[in-house]
Structure 1
Amino acid sequence: MTSSDSTLPRTAVPDGITDPVASARAELKAALAAIEVKGNVPRRLEKASQRGAAKARAFADRNPAGAVAAAVGIAAVTGGLVWAIARAIAR
């Protein structure tokens, strides 16, 4: 492996492969990596929730009053939805 290989993403096929067998293997390896990245929903959800939590922390650091207002608003909407669903089920 060269130093440039370490900068390529797992889903990329390196340039300069002249051997057809090595090229096919590299393409297959990249395709399988892309399928794994795209199909691994729990990992994607974990990364998305980590990004969201980081954004929420940054927002709370910049604007504490806005963060409190957002939390109260989210709680009110969630409570309203739970109440509406419970009422619909009770009828």
Structure 2
Amino acid sequence: MSSDAPVPLPRTAVPLGITDPVERARAELKATLAAIEVKANVPRRLAVTIDESIDKARAFQRRNPALAVAAVIAAAAAVGAAVWAFARSYSR
């Protein structure tokens, strides 16, 4: 089953078949700037990573609710212990 629908081209790719050197240079520059924007946009990359992590955590919670509760309790205990240790070492 082949489809005749065109495959979308990523923003960071240079289209094939450009023969004019000026147009090719413009396309390469546009693709390079898009790639730099994708790599350098740390807040957007962080937001995407956080969204993916939240989706994974929700899927884990749906599969194993008791284990998810235990993980939350363990994480809270670890944070509490770290804060307690820091406060204790700071006060001495």
Identify whether the pair has TM-score above 0.5, normalized to the shorter chain.
Answer: yes
Task: Work out the number of aligned pairs and report it.
Answer: 88
In structure 1, what is the equivalent of residue 86 of structure 2?
A: 85
- Once the two structures are superposed, the pairs formed by residues 1-91 of structure 1 within 5 Å of their partners are 4=6, 7-91=8-92
Task: Give the AA of the match of 2:44.
Answer: R
CA deviations on 1:4-60 (whole Å, 9 max, x unpaired) are: 4x6111111111111111111111101111111111111111111100000000000
Deviation at 1:76, TM superposition (A): 1.0
TM-score w.r.t. length of structure 1? 0.89
The separation in 1 between residues aligned to 2:33 and 2:62, in whole angstroms, is 40
The separation in 2 between residues aligned to 1:23 and 1:8, in whole angstroms, is 15
Q: Which runs of 5+ in 1 are unaligned?
A: none
Deviation at 1:82, TM superposition (A): 1.2
Q: Report the more deviating stretch, 78-87 or 24-33.
A: 78-87
SS at match of 2:18: coil
The separation in 1 between residues aligned to 2:19 and 2:85, in whole angstroms, is 64
Task: Give the AA of the match of 1:22.
Answer: E
Deviation at 1:87, TM superposition (A): 1.8
% identical aligned pairs: 62
Compute the RMSD of aligned alpha carbons.
1.3
